[in-house]
Amino acid sequence: MGVMTTLPNAPLARSPLLRAENLHLHFGGLTALAGITFDIYPGEILALIGPNGAGKTSALNCLNGFYRPQRGQIHFQDRDLVRTPTHQIPHLGIARTFQNIALYTGMTALDNLMAARHIQMKQSMLASMLYFGPAQREEVEHRRVIEEIIDFLEMEHIRKAVVGALPYGLRKRVELGRALALEPKLLLLDEPMAGMNVEEKEDMARFILDIHERRKMTIMLVEHDMGLVMDIAHRIVVLDFGVKIAEGTPDEIRHNPAVIKAYLGAAEHKTSGTGNSG
């Protein structure tokens, strides 16, 4: 993709922020994940790649509690995510964007970001409604965070725009801003470049790199744009039919025979016209 010439600085910490171990996920007779294991280290950008139907989004859905694996463990800073209620996971410091944008389309960009900040509220609803001292200070802090995100993602010109009327690329930017509003320790990005034109992709890649470099945020992304993945990821995990077939640096993955075979096989399958979207 050519968005940068060097990889971002690699993290030094070797104790994982998140560990997913031996994850098994089945839907009836369909196997989505077959015993995959991977770690996410503090301060790194980890990419999860693979052909369509490989299990990438299923893995993300397990991390943020949308799916519960039938077997396996997921630990985030010593917290067992498999046993954690889904609504509590954002409070632990995990935020997520989606392949299909999930926003309040009838609300403005600003209101979408503020809605995310309300998850962080510590004061009671009554105190917030009456605007007592602590609630007032908390609201000021929420506004400060939101204004910083609007500036960071260059959203000033769309802050009052209704999200449903925005072009696709800008809606994806609002969704990224809403995830950042949670001030996560781990940011999960599900195909952040999907459906974008070249200019929109370059903007999104720049924002992801800035999030990592300036906010020191740990990022895991699922992405089909291999040029982007090779440019920005520290490490890459490759899935194929729910199985982890490779893990390593971009250079190691680029020359891995199993990865080459999986992608060539997927391309040939698609060319034959017998494949599905998975």
Task: Return the CATH number at 268.
Answer: 3.40.50.300
* One domain for residues 71 and 142: no
Answer yes or no: is 173 within a domain. yes
Residue 152 CA: distances (Å) to CA of 52, 123, 234: 33, 27, 23
Answer yes or no: is 6 within a domain. no
Q: Report which of residues 224 and 45 the model is more confident about.
A: 45
Packing angle, helices 133-152 and 109-117, rounded to 10: 130
Q: Report which of residues 103 and 206 the model is more confident about.
A: 206
pLDDT single digits (tens) 178-234:
999 999 999 999 999 988 999 999 999 999 999 999 889 999 999 988 888 999 999
* One domain for residues 213 and 246: yes
* One domain for residues 172 and 214: no
Q: Residue 113: in which H helix or E strand, if any?
A: helix 109-117
- Give the global pTM: 0.84
For residue 6, what pLDDT is reported? 46
Q: Report which of residues 254 and 13 the model is more confident about.
A: 254
Answer yes or no: is 68 within a domain. yes
* One domain for residues 218 and 275: yes
Domain with 149, as residue range(s), is 103-181
Residue 274 CA: distances (Å) to CA of 239, 267, 269: 21, 11, 6
Of 159, 172, 233, 278, the C-alpha closest to 9 is: 233
Write out the DSSP string of 174-187. Answer: HHHHHHHTT--SEE
Work out the pLDDT band at 278, boundaries 50, 70, 90.
very low
* One domain for residues 85 and 199: yes
Of 67, 112, 120, the C-alpha closest to 92 is: 120
Domain count, the chain: 2
Residue 190 CA: distances (Å) to CA of 64, 91, 108, 114, 187: 12, 20, 23, 22, 10
* One domain for residues 84 and 206: yes
* One domain for residues 119 and 251: no
Answer yes or no: is 23 within a domain. yes
For residue 132, what pLDDT is reported? 53
